[in-house]
Amino acid sequence: MQLYNTLSAEERAIIIDDAGKQRLTLSFYAYAKIQDPKKFRDDLFIAWNKLDALGRIYVANEGINAQMSIPEENLDIFRTTLEVYDFMKGIRLNEAVEHDDYSFLKLTIKVRDKIVADGLNDETFDVTDIGVHLKAKEFNEILDDPNTIVVDFRNHYESEVGHFKNAITPDVETFRESLPIINEQLQNHKEDKNLVMYCTGGIRCEKASAYFKHQGFKNVFQLEGGIINYAKQIEEEGLESKFIGKNFVFDNRLGERITDDIISQCHQCGKPCDNHTNCENDGCHLLFIQCDECKAAMENCCSTECLDIIHMPLVDQVRLRSGKQVGNKVFRKGKSENLKFKHSGELADTALASADKPVDIRQKIKVKKVLLGKAEHYYVKAQVGQFTVENQELNVGDKILISGPTTGNQELILEKMIVDGAETATAKIGDKVTFEVPFRIRLSDKIYKILE
């Protein structure tokens, strides 16, 4: 029986597009003693694959950690697949602040040693002996207490775009780094201060609260459901948001806005910005903040060196990466000498700008379109793209959409095209057609005809 993905991300995106169904982005976790993580993993894959569930899930002897995307119509039956297991009966599903039908494009369930890597090797540490859970209203109230110390247990690239006011934001790349740093920093406040912590969805704080109780801290609290659940509660209850900025998320969105405050800068030009991107050079793949102007000028690259590399022939790019751990194998965490406006550690609580009103994130599936074909090549100097027509005729005057994971969605009117070296008004199935494209396209891009 198939227990792995057989479709590429691009193929899955087309299927989602054609289905036109609204999807929910959600996350959940549970600490529990799982005797056979491999069997648990396989059983989940079989159940969820039938429901068109996608996501990134880790299972271990200590529990499950999941970030997922499912069709909205399958939510109830999805929940029943969880409640087969006693430790997930009534489990809280954190729904995203901003749903995106393309947040996940594969179903990946991996068995790990731990669902949250902590670097600890202490058999006396009980991960279930946790601190007090606080809902949004209670969390706001305890933040106003002068005896409270609030700690962000996320990484530097997460806290840089959004955090709670007056929080300690460790300059770390992993959760395991933050535990000893905070423990040492707060040694003198084990009994006289409220140690209040938060993270994205609650899973890191669940373990951190147990760790600090184990270390002798008396008053340990955590934000129930993390920033995701906090954002939902403050909206439902009309509460003040003491979180400012954007919440970084580990899916294709890379962030969801909590408040209109932009508190970070484009790492290349210094303009107020909080949009993350990954460097286009597969030999780099650096995560960094990039504004739209720098994105266009640098073609999604973090440096001029990477910009030069992506314009090399593919064979030369592969040669440069040979023998190195690059691309998706090493998720570089956003620190580089090339990033002149990168900030980590002690962060300000002052907004640099206000975000524009969000567009309808479901706009893509509202556009009626039909798939024409795929991208074959892009001639950078001439700004000309080449496409193969696979499904339907293409005509001069057609309104077309070029779409891909990096390119996004770009619309244009086809004014002129070339087939076999000659200008033509119609391209037929099987033709390779070229025409001017005022932006860089990728081999993963698809071309659609927009239907009025």
Q: Which residues belong to the active site? A: 199
Write out the two tokens for 285: 């793949």
What are the strands of the beta sheet with 23-31, ordered from one edge? 94-95, 23-31, 63-71, 54-60, 107-111
Which residue from 255, 245, 176, 173 is spatially nearest to 211, judged by alpha carbons? 176
Helix (H, G, I), strand (E, B) or coil at 48: helix
- Identity of residue 140: N
Contact 292, 338 (CB under 8 A): no
Q: List the beta bridge partners of residue 244.
A: 163
The Cα 393–Cα 449 span in angstroms is 9
- For residue 317, give the H/E element and its range: helix 314-321
Which residue from 208, 217, 177, 181 is spatially nearest to 31, judged by alpha carbons? 208
Neighbours of 363 (CB within 10 A): 9
**Eight-state DSSP code of residue 168:** B
